[in-house]
Structure formats: C-alpha cells, structure tokens
Amino acid sequence: MSISVYQERIFMLNTERMSYVIYVDKSGLLGNAYWGSRLERVEDFEDAAAKPGYHNCSESHHVMEECSSYGSFHFKEPSVKLQYKDGTGDFRYRVDGYEIDGNVLSIRLRDVGYPFEVVLHYRVYEKENIVEKWREARNLGEEPVMLRSFYSGEFGVPGTGYQSINFTGFWGGEFQYAQDSLTAGKKVYESRFGLTAHEANPCFIVHRDADEEHGDVYYGALAYSGNFKISLEAVSCDYVNILAGIQDMDFEWELGKGERFVTPSVYAGYSSHGFGEMSRTMSGFAKRYLMPEERAGKVLPVLYNSWCVTEFDVSMEEQLKLAEKAAALGVELFVMDDGWFQGRTCDKYGLGDWYPDTEKFPRGLGELIGHVNDMGMKFGIWVEPEMVSPHSQLYRNHPDWALHYENREILMWRNQYVLDMTNPEVVAYLVEQLDGLLTENHIEYIKWDMNRYLAETGNWKNKETPKRDFWYQYAQGFYSLAGELRQRHPDVEFEACASGGGRVDYGVMRYFDEYWTSDNTDALDRLYIQESYSLMYPVRYMRAWVTDDLGMNHRTKVPLKFNCYAAMCGVLGIGMNINAMPQEQLEEVKFYVEEYKKVRGIIQNGELYRIASMREGQLQAVQYVTSGESRDELQSVVFVFSDRGHYGRRFFQIKLQGLNPDVIYRIESEGICLERSGAYCMKVGLETELIGDYGCQMFCLKAI
C-alpha cells in the first residue's frame, strides 16, 4: 500500500524508493517525522505520536510542522496567515479527521474557536517516487475570512550544513546555477513580476555535498506560473523549514460563507543517489502525468523560425523563399514569427489585432500555409496574447482593458501595455480571436510570447472595491485562456516563451508542449543554460535553436558542428539566415538535421545522465539512455563538448552510465565503429579526442 496508517495518528506515504511520514501529537497538531529512503514499518514511529505537543516558543521551534500558522508562539515563516472578521489573526487548529481515497490522503485541520478548516492533501505517485501536496481553505461559517498567506506545502529537513540550489538570471542569461549555504536565517527565491520570470525558479533543491551520483537530495517544484515564493529557513533547532507557494506579498483572498480556496500543487521527492536520480525522477513523472496527452511518447518536430532573418519585415515572398530552403534541409515545421498581423511594422504597433496584415497578406494566410504544407511541412505562428499596443485597433476600442491606474499615466515597456487578464471580457475576446485564427487557418503550432513584466495592478474590479487578489487572478486568467485554446485545438503544438525562458514552470506544463529556454542562442552559453535547466525540467520540453548570428558574446569562430550538437541536446530548431548561407554550409546543416532525426527519440524520451560539467572542468558530457524488454530498445546517445584547449590535452575518457552491463553495444562515432560491453563503457569509458577550441563529439550506442 502507498498509504499506511497506525493508531489513527501516524501516516506513512510510501513510493518505491521514498517514505514520507507525518504524525498527530497528543495535543492534536500535525508534524513531520521522516522524509527519506523507503521504510516498511509505520509502527516504528509510535514514539512520534506520543509527543505532548508544544506550549511555548522554545518548544514550537523544535517541531517540523506540516502546517505552521501565524501566532501562537510560531515565529518562523508561517505557512498559513489569516484574519477573522473580529480581528483575530491566528489559526489555532487541531486535527479533525482524515480520509483516504486511493492514493490520496486528506487531513482536516479545524480551528478550535472558529468555523474554519484547512485540508492538507497528499497524492502518492508510487512508481514515479513523487508526493504531491496541495491545500484547501474552507469557510464553514457565516462571516468572511481573509487569507493573507497560504502556501501549497511545508517540508522539514533535519540537520544542519545544507546547501540550496536554484536558477537565477535575466533576459539572455537564464538558468544560471546558484548554490547557497543554508546557515542561520532564511533564503528566499521569489517572483514579483506577475509571471515566473528569469530571476528565480519556483523549485527547491536541498542537499549536503551531493553530486550527480551520490548524496541525499530533497527537492520539489511548484506548479504555478504567477508570483511565487520559496522560503528555506535554517531554524535554530537544527532543521531546514521549506515553504512553497503563492507569493504572499500583495496577496489577500476573501472567503465568504461556504467558499473555499485551493492552492496550486507542489511536487516533491527525495533522492539517495544525487542530482541525477532527482532529474530522472522529475522528468519521468512530468512526462507521464503532466504533459498534454496528445504529445505523450511522441517526438517534437524540427522547426525553422524566420525571426532572425526577417524580424518585422514579413512578406509572402520572403517567407516562401525561406520555407523552400527550410524544406530542403529536412525541416518539419515552418514558423513565421512576429510581424505577420495587422499594422505590425515594428514593435510599436499591432499587438491585440490578431488577424493577418492586409497589405502583407491580401489573400490571408491560407495561401502561404498551403504552400508550406505542400512542401511537406507544418505551419506555425507567433502570438503575444496578453499584450496590447497603444497603436492598435483593440486599444482604440478598449483602452480600459489595459492595466492602469485611473489617475496616473499608464506605464509602457517595449512599446506595449498589458491586458487585464483578470477581466473575463478580455479573456473571452482573446479566446474568440485566437480560436478564429486557428479555426480558419491550418496552423499547427503557436509560439506564445510575453515580453514584459506587470507593473500596475489597476484592473477592472479595483476601481470600486480594491483587493489584493490581482496577481493570483491574473495567473488564473492566463490558465483559462491557455486551457480553453488547448481544449478546442488539442492537435496544435503550443510553445511557452516569455522574453526567452521567463515561463518555465510545472504549472505551464499542463497546457504547453515545450519551453523556449532562452533568447540567447550562443552555443557555449546554451550548454550552461541547458545543464541547469535539466536539473529540474525534462529535456523533452527544451527547445534549442541553431543560429548564425554572433550572439550576445560576439564569438566569431564557433564551428557549425559545435552549434548544431549543442542544439541537438534538446528539441532541435533552426533560426539561421539560410538565404545567405553557401550551399556547402546548407548541406552540413541538412546532415545534422538527418542525424538528429535518427536519435531524437532517445534524446527527447530517454533518461538523461550528466556525465561531466564545464562548471567543474574543461568538458561537458551528456548522455541519453532508453531501456526496455528488447535489445532494440537498449540505445544511448552521448555528446561531449570542450570550450577550449588546455595545456595541449586532447584525449579524455568518458565513463558512461545507465547501460546494461551484460549487453554488448555497437558504438558509432564519426566513422568509427566499436563493440564494447556496457560494463566496459561504464567502468573504463569511451575515449574522445577534442582538439583546440570548441571541440565536440557524438557517440551512438545500440545493443547487439
């Protein structure tokens, strides 16, 4: 059983490799007794339930709580803060019962003095080794209750000396690996930008000197795309208290009679074998339970995007010319980026008017789409639904639909305003416009962008009754729009983009098929970005382009092979100026596209092993492995990269992982063909020769 109960007071949640144990003490409060490798006997924790509870601040600090609340001798960051109508501002609860429904445990916490309860939900994914937490607040009385802070989940990790990992950055510099020591005090990762953003990610990774293969790692990811907060507090009584949920800054939610509020989920796990097991666990779970069903197990197409060539100067003739060359390269999806819709000659115009520009496409998009389809490619398009240009028909008709304060000048960024996604009329308009675009045209891919942060919370409701629920309501409006379009057009491939990688989270994943990881296509930078990304998110969602511009670092001598291999580590896309490329170079790109198609099933759907990191040495090496019942399923792909030569060293031994030690593999790489056992590949390794700057090599392994 995945859920075991002892004496109605101890609850053991078991996956194949992990146990999570919670208990009710004698005073009726809920604590965490254990989180780690799988245990079998729930009875072993009977001493936890015998604890008397706490009666002062000294005692409360010793308890790893499942639901800490504001007040009542709680002085660490609380997971629940509320206010009753009479001014009472704490939540004093006792456990009031529980229910088990299959793999879901629900525990009711009832306030001892008010008709209000919080329900903690736990869903156990036994084979995937994940526990999902979410909470529900219920007003059982007549008077309103105001939620001021309400996290999705709370976790305790006993001991000291831990480090935390998150991903920081900015536009063009996303997913920079950031590790901090959790000494006395609190570490917070958060967003106040209105979306996930680039500066931090809604996840936590806590460890004590772990590496890819060794060490205990406690981790979780919040499934939410709005303002979030991850708090890691090193409590003085030798444990780390972790909170994950909706950002409580500028948040309130009023619960009327009989109303409830449900948080987003947080997915948590434990690894006893370092970061590698953590990544493979999260990736496998996401692909099975969160990925849209229409794409499960399938591979994403190789795309070409026209932005780097045409930018806003879009025309039927130029797009057709690019499409013909893209088709010759083996591209499967042709994407026309920004500049196709009414009045869009630069970034000052057109956002919100989602219909083809009548001068650029006098006969609509159908003609271009037909030609692209005749070339054997799908057709895709770029949109930015949540934004509006001041010079657009939509804004002229509905200036009140843009976020603004009545008595202040509206703030502009990138020559655009933000639409009020808390307004049902706005969401309905966008559904109508985008549904019409997709229904009237054979569009099979949408790149959904968002190129600015939110700065004003003046919305349609706040004019009369100001409330601090805007940030949450905005995220719900975004989900509503994305969910409706997904339901109406299940066969359309949706990519989440927000000035690059500003919308990478587990909340978006249910509605989108892939992420745009960064606008930075510099291959060397991308290797760092992609490595950090892969710690918590599936390679299957990581779109990566090959481009030929100098990039943000103005590197001038990066070989095409290096650029292509870096992009082949994810879901391959091309953004090069293929109109200006010599035939010899086009043939080389075509070769790499063909090579990628042979192995993309392994890359996109296999398990990832990070063999070597440039953060720690000269090389980056990544390996993708598939397994199964038959030998045909035992395959692997390995990419090895070097940024530059050091001291004349050119030969390196790469020890692989994840292979069957008893199986013989045929190994092919750039004209070389070997046969070696899985044991040899993992214990002795494969030799690679990387000469000079930007050396790289790909190995393909198949069981024989």
User: CATH number for the domain including 464?
Assistant: 3.20.20.70
CA 572, 576, 580, 582 torsion-angle sign? negative
Q: Which helix (H) or strand (E) holds 114?
A: none
Q: Are residues 495 and 618 in the same domain?
A: no
Q: Could you give phi then psi for residue 407, rounded to 5 degrees?
A: -110, 25
Which domain CATH number covers 675? 2.60.40.1180
Q: How far, in Å, CA of 190 to CA of 195, rounded?
A: 10
Q: Are residues 601 and 624 in the same domain?
A: no
Q: Are residues 457 and 487 in the same domain?
A: yes
Q: What is the pTM of this model?
A: 0.96
CB 131 within 8 A of CB 20: yes
Q: Are residues 257 and 146 in the same domain?
A: yes
- The alpha helices in 408-540, defined as continuous H runs, are 424-440, 470-488, 523-536
Strand 672-677 to 571-574 pairing: unpaired
SS3 for 488?
helix
414 is an annotated ligand-binding site residue: yes
Average pLDDT over residues 485-504: 97
At 488, the amino acid letter reads R
Q: What pLDDT is stored for residue 55 in this prediction?
A: 55
Whether 551 has a pLDDT exceeding 70, the answer reads: no
Distance of CA 537 to CAs 284, 310, 505, Å?
A: 10, 32, 8
Percent of the chain residues past pLDDT 90, beyond the cut = 88
Average pLDDT over residues 376-398: 98
The residue count for the chain? 704
Q: Looking at 571, 590, 605, which one is the last position of a domain?
A: 605
pLDDT digits (tens, 9 = 90+) for 308-319: 999 999 999 999
Strand 130-139 to 260-262 pairing: antiparallel
Of the candidate ranges 166-180, 367-381, 455-469, 473-487, the one whose mean pLDDT is the lowest:
455-469
**Average pLDDT over all residues of the chain:** 95
Q: State how many domains the chain has.
A: 3
Q: How far, in Å, CA of 459 to CA of 389, rounded?
A: 17
Q: Which residues of 370-379 are buried (b: 16+ CB within 10 A; e: fewer)?
A: ebbeebebbb
Q: Are residues 209 and 324 in the same domain?
A: no
Q: How many CA atoms lie within 13 A of 124 on its CB side?
A: 23
- The alpha helices in 375-467, defined as continuous H runs, are 393-397, 424-440
Q: Are residues 110 and 193 in the same domain?
A: yes
Q: Looking at 573, 605, 637, which one is the last position of a domain?
A: 605
Residue 280 maps to a domain: no
CB 161 within 8 A of CB 299: no
At 624, the amino acid letter reads Y
Q: How far, in Å, CA of 164 to CA of 248, rounded?
A: 21
Residue 431 maps to a domain: yes
Burial of 575 (0-12, 13-18, 19+ CB in 10 A): buried
Residue 283 maps to a domain: no
Q: What pLDDT is stored for residue 648 in this prediction?
A: 66
Block residue for tokens 């308009």: 429
Residue 543 maps to a domain: yes
Q: How far, in Å, CA of 574 to CA of 273, rounded?
A: 36
Q: What pLDDT is stored for residue 557 in this prediction?
A: 80
Nearest to 480 by CA among 524, 426, 552, 557: 426
* DSSP notation for 570-618: SEEEE---TTSS-HHHHHHHHHHHHHHHHHHHHHHHSEEEEEE-TTTSS
Q: What pLDDT is stored for residue 297 in this prediction?
A: 81
Q: Which residues of 190-224 are buried (b: 16+ CB within 10 A; e: fewer)?
A: bbebbbbbbbbbbbbbbbeebebeebbbbbbbbbb
Residue 286 maps to a domain: no
Spacing of C-alpha 91 from chain mean position = 33
Q: Which helix (H) or strand (E) holds 625?
A: strand 619-626
Strand 493-496 to 514-516 pairing: parallel
**pLDDT confidence of 548, banded at 50, 70, 90?**
confident
Q: For the chain, report the end-to-end CA distance as a whole number of angstroms.
A: 39
pLDDT digits (tens, 9 = 90+) for 600-659: 999 999 999 999 999 999 999 999 999 887 888 899 999 999 988 777 688 999 999 999
Q: What pLDDT is stored for residue 73 in this prediction?
A: 77
Q: What pLDDT is stored for residue 465 in this prediction?
A: 57
Whether 457 has a pLDDT exceeding 90, the answer reads: no
SS3 for 458?
coil
Nearest to 196 by CA among 165, 159, 153, 228: 228
Q: Are residues 236 and 323 in the same domain?
A: no
Residue 423 maps to a domain: yes
CA 655, 658, 663, 668 torsion-angle sign? negative
- Containing structural domain, residue 632: 609-703
pLDDT digits (tens, 9 = 90+) for 265-308: 999 999 999 999 999 999 999 999 999 887 778 999 999 999 99
**pLDDT confidence of 51, banded at 50, 70, 90?**
confident
Q: What pLDDT is stored for residue 684 in this prediction?
A: 98
Q: Are residues 160 and 61 in the same domain?
A: yes
Residues 6 or more apart in contact with residue 432 via CB below 8 angstroms: none
- In sequence order, the β-bridge partners of residue 157 are 240
- In sequence order, the β-bridge partners of residue 269 are 219
Spacing of C-alpha 103 from chain mean position = 25
Residue 278 maps to a domain: no
SS3 for 134?
strand
337 is an annotated ligand-binding site residue: yes
Q: What pLDDT is stored for residue 74 in this prediction?
A: 77
DSSP state of 5: E
Nearest to 100 by CA among 118, 126, 120: 120
Cα angle 530-193-528, degrees, rounded to a multiple of 5: 15
Which domain CATH number covers 134? 2.70.98.60
pLDDT digits (tens, 9 = 90+) for 682-693: 999 999 999 889
Q: How far, in Å, CA of 417 to CA of 388, rounded?
A: 5
Residues with a catalytic annotation lie at 449, 519
Q: Looking at 589, 605, 621, which one is the last position of a domain?
A: 605
Q: How far, in Å, CA of 311 to CA of 480, rounded?
A: 30
519 is an annotated ligand-binding site residue: yes
347 is an annotated ligand-binding site residue: no
Q: What pLDDT is stored for residue 462 in this prediction?
A: 60
CB 579 within 8 A of CB 623: no
Q: What pLDDT is stored for residue 650 in this prediction?
A: 83
253 is an annotated ligand-binding site residue: no
Strand 378-383 to 445-448 pairing: parallel
Q: How far, in Å, CA of 622 to CA of 695, rounded?
A: 14
Whether 493 has a pLDDT exceeding 90, the answer reads: yes
CA 25, 31, 37, 40 torsion-angle sign? positive
Q: How far, in Å, CA of 292 to CA of 307, rounded?
A: 27
449 is an annotated ligand-binding site residue: yes
Nearest to 166 by CA among 195, 131, 132, 202: 202
Whether 59 has a pLDDT exceeding 70, the answer reads: no
Residue 18 maps to a domain: yes
Q: Are residues 580 and 615 in the same domain?
A: no
DSSP state of 71: B
Q: Are residues 256 and 143 in the same domain?
A: yes
Burial of 26 (0-12, 13-18, 19+ CB in 10 A): exposed
Nearest to 508 by CA among 533, 526, 486, 489: 486
Of the candidate ranges 67-81, 82-96, 393-407, 529-543, the one whose mean pLDDT is the lowest:
67-81
- Cβ atoms within 10 Å of 38's Cβ, excluding its own: 15
Percent of the chain residues past pLDDT 70, beyond the cut = 97
Average pLDDT over residues 13-33: 96
Of the candidate ranges 109-123, 385-399, 465-479, the one whose mean pLDDT is the lowest:
465-479
Residues 6 or more apart in contact with residue 54 via CB below 8 angstroms: 27, 29, 60, 62, 63, 73
Q: Are residues 185 and 102 in the same domain?
A: yes
451 is an annotated ligand-binding site residue: yes
Q: Are residues 22 and 88 in the same domain?
A: yes
